[in-house]
Amino acid sequence: MKVAIYCRLSEEDRNKQVETDDSGSIQNQKAMLVQYAREQGWELYGIYSDDDYAGADRRRPKFNELLADAEKRKFDIVLCKTQSRFTRELELVEKYIHGLFPLWGIRFVSIVDNADTANKGNKKSRQINGLVNEWYLEDMSDNIRSVLTNRRQNGYHIGAFALYGYRKDPNQKGHLLVDSEAAAVVHEVFALYAQGYGKTTIARMLNDRGVPNPTEYKRLHGLRYQNPKSEQSTLWKYYAIADMLENEIYIGNMVQGKYGSVSYKTKQNKPRPREAWYTVEGTHEPIIERELWDRVQTLRLQRAKPFRVGKIGLFARKARCAYCGYVMRSSKTKERHYLKCPNRHVAADACPGAFIAVDKLEQAVLAELKCLSQSYLDRDALEQGVEFCTNLQAQKARLQADLDTYRDKAAAYAKGLRELYLDKVKGVLTEGDYVALSADFTKERNRMERVIADGERQLDELEERIAAGDNRRALVEQYTNVDHLTREMVDILIDHVSVGRRAKGTKTVPVEIFWKF
């Protein structure tokens, strides 16, 4: 009789402290099973051994090889230390031990729990063992999940691999430290995107300089990394840049739980909704400052179209038609870039169609920027410009007064609802009258709450504009004596630009710039 020995060691076995616990090592299992086979007078066909695999993992390589050889009738007996070494799933116990193995003429034997398919009397005990193992799997999965969930909720990093730009803290489990070399590349990626470079262009720039991608960087530095299933590549790709630009871990927030397991029986994962993610702010040192992060996220949401390969248009989503208000689109003729209103040919009667060359608009912005710098850097002119903030302060005072009125009304409606309820309890109002009146009160209270929320948002915007106005001297000083604009400068300085169409007989296109300061 030819016997095939199957051994399995899982991660939980490595932590066993008592020798009598379930298998302490693969070597111990092999020695025990080989000796037992010799005592029975069986010929050893081969040993199939899976190291560091769970009993519910159906992807075990040697386990599947054993099943394939069993189907080919290469041996007569499968020998294990316990039934759980073969599988912890009741479904596989029934499928193979009680189903296919008998059809293939193969006997299953496990030593410790006395499972033997040649003994028909212990079939029920084998089924009970399978059920107990199934319960063990489910309980262990629930316990592990609850522990990991608690650690994620408390901001501890859970995972075998640290995100590119960080490394695991050797002195504090679950804490990340900045990897200065990789962090410099991460910061460069964010800065380039903020300046208007596209994701593919950034990847090409890093590849041209020979900067290793995250996987190759970790391999070169002896760090743990995940082997991609596809062919190994040391190059940066578009999706690597895209993933980096949206990962909040780079601003010091721990974000985990984006994927969850389908079942405790499989390692297959599926995406989880954003509201189910575990996000804890300020758990580690950020690589990207908040201002740069916000600028990048704004650009990502705008999804500005490029004027040329890899370069976001200088005024993309900033230039608007003075006649219809639509965002102007880019075009190119003989190596020169233009902006034009998309409604020019759609509604000619309603919109004559704004049109301007990009370089002409850039020169117009630079000219006005220089005029602003001269006036704002003049102390007397700067003092005279305080009227700008004074007007905003007046708007703020009026808005605060309106908000106080709205809050009083909302409080009155809430008080009215309470009094209506008391009248109903006392019998002053019938149930029908109470329902009708309370519905009206609730509707008005909800309307007031929406008005208050809108007003508070407007108040926040006014305070930001006032703060920007107070700092306009420092802001303008940064951009004096510049010859060319960058996308970063346009984002920081300009809210939008209103562009008209050149009148016949003139060479000037009407342009009105709405600054952020």
Closest to 168 in 3D by CA, of 181, 155, 178: 178
For residues 385-415, one letter each, b for 16 or more C-beta atoms within 10 angstroms of the residue's C-beta and e for the rest, the string is beeebeebeeebeeeeeebeebeebbeebee
CATH of domain 2-150: 3.40.50.1390
Closest to 343 in 3D by CA, of 321, 313, 358, 361: 321
pTM: 0.46
Could you tell me which residues are beta bridge partners of residue 77? 3, 107
Domain boundaries along the sequence of the chain: 2-150, 166-299, 313-377+481-515, 386-477
CATH for 166-299, among 1.10.150, 3.40.50, 3.90.1750, 2.60.40?
Answer: 3.90.1750
Phi, then psi, of 283 in degrees rounded to 5: -90, -15
Q: CA of 259: how far to CAs of 54, 97, 230, 417, in Å?
A: 20, 34, 21, 45
Helix (H/G/I), strand (E/B), else coil: 360: helix
Are the C-beta atoms of residues 511 and 499 closer than 8 Å to each other?
yes
Per-residue confidence in pLDDT tens, the chain, 517 aa: 999 999 988 755 554 444 444 445 677 788 889 999 999 999 999 999 988 787 777 888 999 999 999 999 999 999 998 888 888 887 888 899 888 999 999 999 988 888 888 887 667 676 676 666 666 556 555 665 676 777 778 888 887 788 999 999 989 888 999 999 999 999 999 988 888 788 888 888 888 888 999 988 988 888 766 655 444 567 888 888 999 999 999 999 998 887 766 555 555 667 778 788 888 888 999 999 998 999 898 888 766 554 444 455 788 878 888 887 778 888 888 778 888 887 666 544 557 788 899 989 988 888 888 887 776 655 454 444 444 455 567 677 877 887 888 888 888 888 888 888 788 778 877 888 878 888 878 877 887 887 788 778 778 877 776 666 555 555 556 666 677 888 778 877 888 899 988 878 788 889 998 887 6
Measured distance CA(330)–CA(341) in Å, rounded:
9
Report which DSSP code applies to 73: T
Element (H, E) at 178: strand 176-178
